Structure 1
Amino acid sequence: MLAPEVPMSHSLAGGPPPAGRRAAPLTTAVYSATEWDLLTGLPGRVVVVAAAPAPGRSSRGVAAGLAGLEAVAGGRAFDSDLVRAVVATIYARQEEHAPSGRVGRGRRRRGAAPTDPVELLADCRAATRVLRRRADPADSAAYRQWVQSVAARVCRADQDACPLGPADQRLLDRLGVALGLR
Protein backbone atom coordinates (compact mmCIF):
# COMPACT_ATOMS: atom_id res chain seq x y z
CA MET A 1 0.00 0.00 0.00
CA LEU A 2 1.41 3.38 -0.97
CA ALA A 3 1.65 6.22 1.54
CA PRO A 4 -0.56 9.23 0.86
CA GLU A 5 1.12 12.18 -0.84
CA VAL A 6 1.64 15.42 1.05
CA PRO A 7 1.87 18.49 -1.18
CA MET A 8 4.52 21.05 -0.28
CA SER A 9 3.47 24.56 -1.16
CA HIS A 10 3.73 28.18 -0.21
CA SER A 11 0.52 27.78 1.77
CA LEU A 12 2.20 25.38 4.21
CA ALA A 13 4.75 28.02 5.03
CA GLY A 14 2.44 31.00 5.11
CA GLY A 15 -1.02 29.81 6.07
CA PRO A 16 -4.05 28.74 4.10
CA PRO A 17 -4.58 30.11 0.60
CA PRO A 18 -7.33 32.67 0.03
CA ALA A 19 -10.67 31.15 -0.91
CA GLY A 20 -11.00 30.24 -4.55
CA ARG A 21 -7.24 30.28 -5.23
CA ARG A 22 -5.05 27.30 -5.88
CA ALA A 23 -2.76 26.51 -2.93
CA ALA A 24 0.16 25.07 -4.86
CA PRO A 25 2.48 27.15 -7.02
CA LEU A 26 3.89 25.75 -10.24
CA THR A 27 7.09 24.69 -8.42
CA THR A 28 5.28 22.46 -5.93
CA ALA A 29 7.14 19.29 -5.04
CA VAL A 30 5.22 16.32 -3.69
CA TYR A 31 6.48 14.19 -0.81
CA SER A 32 4.99 10.98 0.52
CA ALA A 33 3.88 11.04 4.17
CA THR A 34 6.95 8.98 5.07
CA GLU A 35 9.28 11.36 3.23
CA TRP A 36 7.64 14.40 4.84
CA ASP A 37 7.93 12.81 8.30
CA LEU A 38 11.63 12.24 7.62
CA LEU A 39 12.21 15.84 6.51
CA THR A 40 10.22 17.36 9.37
CA GLY A 41 11.60 15.06 12.06
CA LEU A 42 15.26 15.43 11.14
CA PRO A 43 15.94 18.92 12.57
CA GLY A 44 14.65 17.95 16.03
CA ARG A 45 16.64 14.73 15.99
CA VAL A 46 19.76 16.71 15.08
CA VAL A 47 19.20 18.85 18.18
CA VAL A 48 18.80 15.75 20.36
CA VAL A 49 21.91 14.00 19.02
CA ALA A 50 24.10 17.13 19.07
CA ALA A 51 23.00 17.97 22.62
CA ALA A 52 23.41 14.44 23.99
CA PRO A 53 26.49 13.53 26.01
CA ALA A 54 28.88 11.40 24.00
CA PRO A 55 32.40 9.99 24.38
CA GLY A 56 34.89 12.82 24.06
CA ARG A 57 32.24 15.49 24.58
CA SER A 58 31.25 17.24 27.74
CA SER A 59 27.68 17.12 28.92
CA ARG A 60 25.54 19.77 27.26
CA GLY A 61 23.54 22.26 29.26
CA VAL A 62 20.15 23.79 28.71
CA ALA A 63 21.80 26.48 26.58
CA ALA A 64 22.61 23.89 23.90
CA GLY A 65 19.01 22.72 23.64
CA LEU A 66 17.76 26.28 23.53
CA ALA A 67 20.29 27.16 20.84
CA GLY A 68 19.01 24.23 18.78
CA LEU A 69 15.40 25.29 19.19
CA GLU A 70 16.30 28.84 18.18
CA ALA A 71 18.13 27.53 15.11
CA VAL A 72 15.11 25.43 14.11
CA ALA A 73 12.79 28.42 14.59
CA GLY A 74 15.21 30.54 12.56
CA GLY A 75 14.19 28.47 9.55
CA ARG A 76 11.02 30.61 9.38
CA ALA A 77 13.15 33.43 7.96
CA PHE A 78 14.91 31.32 5.31
CA ASP A 79 14.46 32.21 1.67
CA SER A 80 13.25 28.69 0.97
CA ASP A 81 9.66 27.54 0.70
CA LEU A 82 10.73 24.06 1.77
CA VAL A 83 12.52 25.16 4.96
CA ARG A 84 9.65 27.45 5.96
CA ALA A 85 7.14 24.66 5.29
CA VAL A 86 9.15 22.21 7.41
CA VAL A 87 9.29 24.70 10.31
CA ALA A 88 5.55 25.38 10.00
CA THR A 89 4.86 21.64 10.14
CA ILE A 90 7.14 21.19 13.17
CA TYR A 91 5.29 23.90 15.06
CA ALA A 92 1.89 22.55 14.01
CA ARG A 93 2.86 19.10 15.27
CA GLN A 94 4.09 20.53 18.56
CA GLU A 95 0.68 22.08 19.09
CA GLU A 96 -1.07 18.82 18.14
CA HIS A 97 0.99 16.75 20.56
CA ALA A 98 1.48 19.22 23.41
CA PRO A 99 -0.98 17.61 25.86
CA SER A 100 0.70 14.21 25.60
CA GLY A 101 4.19 15.67 25.80
CA ARG A 102 5.17 14.18 22.45
CA VAL A 103 6.77 16.73 20.18
CA GLY A 104 7.08 16.16 16.45
CA ARG A 105 7.18 12.89 14.60
CA GLY A 106 10.38 11.46 13.35
CA ARG A 107 11.13 7.98 12.30
CA ARG A 108 13.19 5.78 14.54
CA ARG A 109 14.15 2.21 14.00
CA ARG A 110 12.80 -0.21 16.56
CA GLY A 111 15.18 -0.46 19.49
CA ALA A 112 17.35 2.50 18.44
CA ALA A 113 18.04 5.24 20.96
CA PRO A 114 16.91 8.75 19.96
CA THR A 115 20.51 9.89 20.50
CA ASP A 116 22.05 7.31 18.14
CA PRO A 117 24.30 9.29 15.76
CA VAL A 118 24.64 6.35 13.36
CA GLU A 119 20.88 6.26 12.80
CA LEU A 120 20.77 10.05 12.46
CA LEU A 121 23.47 9.98 9.78
CA ALA A 122 21.60 7.23 7.90
CA ASP A 123 18.45 9.34 7.99
CA CYS A 124 20.41 12.39 6.77
CA ARG A 125 21.57 10.35 3.78
CA ALA A 126 17.98 9.21 3.16
CA ALA A 127 16.70 12.79 3.34
CA THR A 128 19.40 13.88 0.90
CA ARG A 129 18.25 11.20 -1.57
CA VAL A 130 14.62 12.33 -1.20
CA LEU A 131 15.60 15.95 -1.78
CA ARG A 132 17.63 15.07 -4.87
CA ARG A 133 14.61 13.27 -6.35
CA ARG A 134 11.85 15.65 -5.32
CA ALA A 135 13.02 19.13 -4.38
CA ASP A 136 14.09 22.18 -6.31
CA PRO A 137 17.91 22.26 -6.11
CA ALA A 138 17.90 25.60 -4.26
CA ASP A 139 15.38 24.31 -1.69
CA SER A 140 17.38 21.11 -1.29
CA ALA A 141 20.58 23.03 -0.62
CA ALA A 142 18.84 25.43 1.77
CA TYR A 143 17.28 22.57 3.76
CA ARG A 144 20.55 20.64 4.05
CA GLN A 145 22.52 23.75 5.06
CA TRP A 146 19.83 24.66 7.59
CA VAL A 147 19.97 21.21 9.22
CA GLN A 148 23.78 21.47 9.39
CA SER A 149 23.50 24.96 10.93
CA VAL A 150 21.12 23.62 13.61
CA ALA A 151 23.77 21.09 14.68
CA ALA A 152 26.50 23.72 14.60
CA ARG A 153 24.50 26.05 16.85
CA VAL A 154 23.99 23.26 19.39
CA CYS A 155 27.67 22.25 19.32
CA ARG A 156 28.83 25.84 19.74
CA ALA A 157 26.29 26.86 22.41
CA ASP A 158 28.56 26.17 25.36
CA GLN A 159 31.87 26.96 23.64
CA ASP A 160 32.08 30.72 24.40
CA ALA A 161 34.18 31.50 21.30
CA CYS A 162 36.51 28.54 21.93
CA PRO A 163 37.25 26.20 19.04
CA LEU A 164 35.11 23.11 18.80
CA GLY A 165 36.36 19.99 20.48
CA PRO A 166 37.38 17.06 18.29
CA ALA A 167 34.20 15.07 19.02
CA ASP A 168 31.94 17.99 18.08
CA GLN A 169 33.95 18.70 14.94
CA ARG A 170 33.77 15.03 13.98
CA LEU A 171 29.98 15.04 14.42
CA LEU A 172 29.60 18.17 12.27
CA ASP A 173 31.93 16.76 9.61
CA ARG A 174 30.06 13.45 9.46
CA LEU A 175 26.75 15.30 9.32
CA GLY A 176 28.03 17.47 6.47
CA VAL A 177 29.05 14.38 4.50
CA ALA A 178 25.71 12.63 5.17
CA LEU A 179 23.86 15.75 4.00
CA GLY A 180 25.95 15.93 0.83
CA LEU A 181 27.52 19.24 1.78
CA ARG A 182 31.12 17.97 1.75
Structure 2
Amino acid sequence: MRDQYTGAEWELLVELPRSVVIAATSAEADGPRRTVNEGIAGHAGIQAGEIDDSALVRAVYADLFLLEADPDADELPAAEEFNNRAAGLAEVLDDARRAARVLAAKAEPADAAAYRVWLHRIAGSVSEAAHSGGFLGLGGDRVTSAEQRFMDDLARALA
Protein backbone atom coordinates (compact mmCIF):
# COMPACT_ATOMS: atom_id res chain seq x y z
CA MET A 1 0.00 0.00 0.00
CA ARG A 2 2.68 2.42 1.08
CA ASP A 3 4.91 1.76 -1.94
CA GLN A 4 2.56 3.52 -4.37
CA TYR A 5 3.26 6.86 -2.65
CA THR A 6 6.44 8.91 -2.40
CA GLY A 7 7.90 9.34 1.06
CA ALA A 8 6.57 12.89 1.27
CA GLU A 9 3.08 11.86 0.11
CA TRP A 10 2.89 9.03 2.64
CA GLU A 11 4.17 11.30 5.42
CA LEU A 12 1.44 13.81 4.54
CA LEU A 13 -1.26 11.13 4.74
CA VAL A 14 0.10 9.80 8.03
CA GLU A 15 0.52 13.17 9.75
CA LEU A 16 -2.73 14.77 8.57
CA PRO A 17 -5.04 12.99 11.07
CA ARG A 18 -3.04 14.38 14.01
CA SER A 19 -3.01 17.82 12.38
CA VAL A 20 -6.79 17.65 11.99
CA VAL A 21 -7.11 17.00 15.74
CA ILE A 22 -5.01 20.07 16.53
CA ALA A 23 -6.91 22.20 14.00
CA ALA A 24 -10.32 21.11 15.26
CA THR A 25 -9.19 21.78 18.83
CA SER A 26 -7.91 25.20 17.77
CA ALA A 27 -11.00 26.18 15.79
CA GLU A 28 -12.63 27.58 18.94
CA ALA A 29 -10.75 28.98 21.92
CA ASP A 30 -11.70 26.87 24.92
CA GLY A 31 -10.52 26.46 28.46
CA PRO A 32 -7.86 23.86 29.27
CA ARG A 33 -10.36 21.20 30.43
CA ARG A 34 -12.39 21.46 27.24
CA THR A 35 -9.24 21.41 25.14
CA VAL A 36 -8.05 18.23 26.86
CA ASN A 37 -11.48 16.60 26.32
CA GLU A 38 -11.27 17.53 22.65
CA GLY A 39 -7.75 16.12 22.37
CA ILE A 40 -8.83 12.83 23.95
CA ALA A 41 -11.80 12.61 21.57
CA GLY A 42 -9.47 13.28 18.65
CA HIS A 43 -7.13 10.48 19.65
CA ALA A 44 -10.13 8.14 19.93
CA GLY A 45 -11.21 9.23 16.45
CA ILE A 46 -7.77 8.43 15.11
CA GLN A 47 -7.84 5.01 16.78
CA ALA A 48 -11.01 4.16 14.85
CA GLY A 49 -8.68 3.87 11.85
CA GLU A 50 -7.33 0.62 13.30
CA ILE A 51 -10.55 -1.22 12.45
CA ASP A 52 -11.63 0.72 9.37
CA ASP A 53 -12.78 -1.29 6.34
CA SER A 54 -10.26 0.57 4.17
CA ALA A 55 -6.80 -0.92 3.80
CA LEU A 56 -5.43 2.59 3.24
CA VAL A 57 -6.90 3.94 6.48
CA ARG A 58 -5.62 0.93 8.43
CA ALA A 59 -2.13 1.32 6.90
CA VAL A 60 -2.04 5.05 7.68
CA TYR A 61 -3.25 4.36 11.22
CA ALA A 62 -0.59 1.65 11.69
CA ASP A 63 2.20 4.03 10.68
CA LEU A 64 0.76 6.84 12.79
CA PHE A 65 0.51 4.46 15.74
CA LEU A 66 4.17 3.49 15.24
CA LEU A 67 5.16 7.17 15.27
CA GLU A 68 3.24 7.75 18.49
CA ALA A 69 4.66 4.59 20.08
CA ASP A 70 8.27 5.47 19.23
CA PRO A 71 10.16 5.37 22.55
CA ASP A 72 12.58 8.04 21.29
CA ALA A 73 9.79 10.46 20.39
CA ASP A 74 8.50 13.07 22.78
CA GLU A 75 5.28 12.03 24.48
CA LEU A 76 2.26 13.52 22.78
CA PRO A 77 0.30 16.01 24.85
CA ALA A 78 -3.30 15.18 25.69
CA ALA A 79 -4.29 18.28 23.77
CA GLU A 80 -2.62 20.89 21.67
CA GLU A 81 -3.66 24.14 20.02
CA PHE A 82 -1.98 26.35 17.44
CA ASN A 83 -0.26 29.45 18.75
CA ASN A 84 -1.41 31.28 15.63
CA ARG A 85 -4.93 29.96 15.09
CA ALA A 86 -5.53 31.41 11.60
CA ALA A 87 -2.16 30.33 10.21
CA GLY A 88 -2.43 26.84 11.74
CA LEU A 89 -5.92 26.25 10.37
CA ALA A 90 -4.89 27.52 6.93
CA GLU A 91 -1.88 25.19 6.89
CA VAL A 92 -3.98 22.14 7.79
CA LEU A 93 -6.51 22.99 5.09
CA ASP A 94 -3.66 23.37 2.57
CA ASP A 95 -2.34 19.97 3.65
CA ALA A 96 -5.84 18.52 3.25
CA ARG A 97 -6.02 19.88 -0.31
CA ARG A 98 -2.62 18.36 -1.09
CA ALA A 99 -3.72 15.03 0.40
CA ALA A 100 -6.89 15.12 -1.70
CA ARG A 101 -4.79 15.56 -4.85
CA VAL A 102 -2.52 12.67 -3.84
CA LEU A 103 -5.51 10.44 -3.13
CA ALA A 104 -7.19 11.35 -6.41
CA ALA A 105 -4.04 10.46 -8.31
CA LYS A 106 -2.97 7.31 -6.50
CA ALA A 107 -5.60 5.76 -4.24
CA GLU A 108 -8.48 3.50 -5.11
CA PRO A 109 -11.67 5.61 -5.04
CA ALA A 110 -13.11 3.65 -2.10
CA ASP A 111 -9.90 4.10 -0.09
CA ALA A 112 -9.76 7.81 -0.89
CA ALA A 113 -13.38 8.22 0.23
CA ALA A 114 -12.74 6.24 3.43
CA TYR A 115 -9.72 8.41 4.28
CA ARG A 116 -11.76 11.58 3.77
CA VAL A 117 -14.60 10.23 5.92
CA TRP A 118 -12.13 9.20 8.64
CA LEU A 119 -10.64 12.71 8.79
CA HIS A 120 -14.06 14.31 8.86
CA ARG A 121 -15.16 11.99 11.68
CA ILE A 122 -12.02 12.86 13.63
CA ALA A 123 -12.82 16.57 13.29
CA GLY A 124 -16.43 15.90 14.30
CA SER A 125 -15.37 13.93 17.36
CA VAL A 126 -13.17 16.78 18.50
CA SER A 127 -15.77 19.44 17.81
CA GLU A 128 -18.50 17.57 19.67
CA ALA A 129 -16.33 16.62 22.66
CA ALA A 130 -16.95 19.67 24.81
CA HIS A 131 -19.63 22.33 25.03
CA SER A 132 -18.41 25.85 24.38
CA GLY A 133 -20.01 28.80 26.05
CA GLY A 134 -22.66 28.37 28.69
CA PHE A 135 -22.14 28.79 32.40
CA LEU A 136 -20.52 26.32 34.80
CA GLY A 137 -20.64 23.59 32.20
CA LEU A 138 -24.35 24.06 31.51
CA GLY A 139 -25.73 25.12 28.18
CA GLY A 140 -23.52 26.34 25.40
CA ASP A 141 -23.04 24.94 21.94
CA ARG A 142 -22.02 21.35 21.26
CA VAL A 143 -20.46 22.48 17.98
CA THR A 144 -19.74 26.18 17.68
CA SER A 145 -19.98 28.14 14.46
CA ALA A 146 -16.16 28.30 14.29
CA GLU A 147 -15.89 24.53 14.70
CA GLN A 148 -18.59 23.95 12.09
CA ARG A 149 -16.83 26.33 9.73
CA PHE A 150 -13.60 24.34 10.14
CA MET A 151 -15.41 21.05 9.46
CA ASP A 152 -17.07 22.56 6.37
CA ASP A 153 -13.73 23.96 5.17
CA LEU A 154 -12.09 20.57 5.75
CA ALA A 155 -14.80 18.80 3.75
CA ARG A 156 -14.30 21.26 0.86
CA ALA A 157 -10.51 20.88 1.04
CA LEU A 158 -10.75 17.09 0.88
CA ALA A 159 -13.32 17.06 -1.94
Same fold (TM over 0.5): yes
Deviation at 1:50, TM superposition (A): 1.1
| TM-score (normalizing by structure 1) | 0.71
Aligned CA-pair RMSD: 2.4
Counterpart Cα distance in 2 of 1:163 and 1:144: 23
Question: Counterpart of 1:146?
Answer: 118
Give 1:38's match in structure 2, choosing from 3, 12, 22: 12
Pair 100,93 (structure 1): closer, same or farther in 2 beyond 3 Å:
closer
Question: Counterpart of 2:96?
Answer: 124
Deviation at 1:161, TM superposition (A): 9.7
Is 2:61 the counterpart of 1:82?
Answer: no
- For the residue of structure 1 that corresponds to 2:30, the secondary structure is coil
Identity of matched residues, %: 36
Counterpart Cα distance in 2 of 1:131 and 1:44: 18
Question: Counterpart of 1:99?
Answer: 72
**Structure with greater helix share of residues:** 2
Structure label with greater radius of gyration: 1
Pair 79,93 (structure 1): closer, same or farther in 2 beyond 3 Å:
same
The higher-RCO structure (CA 8 Å, 6+ apart) is: 2
**Structure with greater strand share of residues:** 1
Pair 162,88 (structure 1): closer, same or farther in 2 beyond 3 Å:
same
Deviation at 1:58, TM superposition (A): 3.1
Counterpart Cα distance in 2 of 1:162 and 1:37: 35
Question: Counterpart of 2:127?
Answer: 155
Deviation at 1:162, TM superposition (A): 4.7
Q: How many residues align?
A: 143
